[in-house]
Amino acid sequence: MSRIAIMAVAGVCALAAFANDADRHGGTVRIAGKGRLAVVDCRSGLDWNDMKPVLESFDRAFHVEVVRLQGDEFSVESAAGALSRTASNAALFVGSRADYPMSLAAPEQKWAFVNVAPLKADGRNLVRRSQMLLMRGIYRALGSDTSNAARSCLSPVHSPADLDKISDFDVAMDTYVAVCQSLESLGIVPVEYGTYQDACEMGIAAPPTNAVQRAIWEKVHAIPDKPITIEFDPKKDR
C-alpha cells in the first residue's frame, strides 16, 4: 500500500473514531456564542442575494452571528448610538451616497461604512466589487484594516478598479488573527460545536432527544445522593 493510501486510511479511521466518541457523548451540537455584528442596509440598492457568498464566507471563518437590518440613509451623525439601536457589538453600514467616500472606518466607535455609489458610477463588475467592498467593511468594523497577504481582501484599495485585484474574499491568516483578537475585545464569543455532554455541563443544552442524551442529561442534573457534609472540629478552629 502506498504512503498516500496509508495516510488516507488513517485519516478515515481517525474521523470514524472521533464520530464514535461524539456519539457516546450525545452527538455533536451547536453551542451558542455571544454578541453579534449588525449589517445595516442604508438604502444601498444592493441585491442581498448577491451578497450571500460574503456573509457565508465570514460565517465559515468566524462563526459569529450576523444580523442584517434596514436603515435610513447613512450619515456620520446617524451612526452615533448605532450599537444600542441595533443591539450589536459592532456595526457595518452599507449605503449609496455620492457625497461620501467609498468607505469610512471608526473602530473606536465600533462601526464602519461602505459606499457603493462610486461602484455604481464606474459601472464595471458591480456585483463582484460590491462583494469585496462589503467583506472589507466587515473586517474594518471589527477593527482589522490591513493585510500582508498579496491580493487579499484587505490589500490597498484606492479606486473601484483596485477591488478587481483582490483574488477572493476568504480571510488571510494575518487578518484572521487580528479579527479574532478584536472579537475578544468587543465581547463577541463565536459559536462553537461540541458534544451534547459539553453543552449539558455548560448548562446550555436543549432537552434530550434520544436515549443517550437523556442518560447524559439525567446524570449531569442528578441531585447528589451523598450531600456534602462539613465536619466541625472545635480544636482546629481555635
Would residue 84 count as lying in a domain? yes
Would residue 204 count as lying in a domain? no
Would residue 191 count as lying in a domain? no
Q: Which domain holds residue 103?
A: 33-186
Would residue 210 count as lying in a domain? no
Phi, psi of 183, deg, nearest 5? -55, -40
Would residue 8 count as lying in a domain? no
Closest by CA position to 154, among listed 141, 169, 37: 169
CB neighbour list of residue 9: distance below 8 Å, 6 or more residues apart: 1
Average the pLDDT over 216-224 and give the result.
78
Q: What is the domain count for the chain?
A: 1
* pLDDT of 22: 62
Would residue 116 count as lying in a domain? yes
Would residue 219 count as lying in a domain? no
Q: What's 154's domain CATH number?
A: 3.40.390.10
67 within 8 A of 55, measured Cβ to Cβ: no
**What does the mean pLDDT of the chain come to?**
84
Per-residue pLDDT tens over the stretch 8-26: 434 434 334 444 556 677 7
Would residue 203 count as lying in a domain? no
Distance CA 134, CA 39 (A): 9
* pLDDT of 15: 36
Average the pLDDT over 133-161 and give the result.
91
Percent of the chain having pLDDT more than 70?
A: 82
How far CA 120 is from CA of 96, 117, 130, 178, in Å, comes to 9, 5, 9, 31
Per-residue pLDDT tens over the stretch 64-86: 999 999 999 999 998 988 899 99
Per-residue pLDDT tens over the stretch 32-45: 678 999 999 999 99
pTM of the model: 0.72
CB atoms within 10 A of CB 189: 15
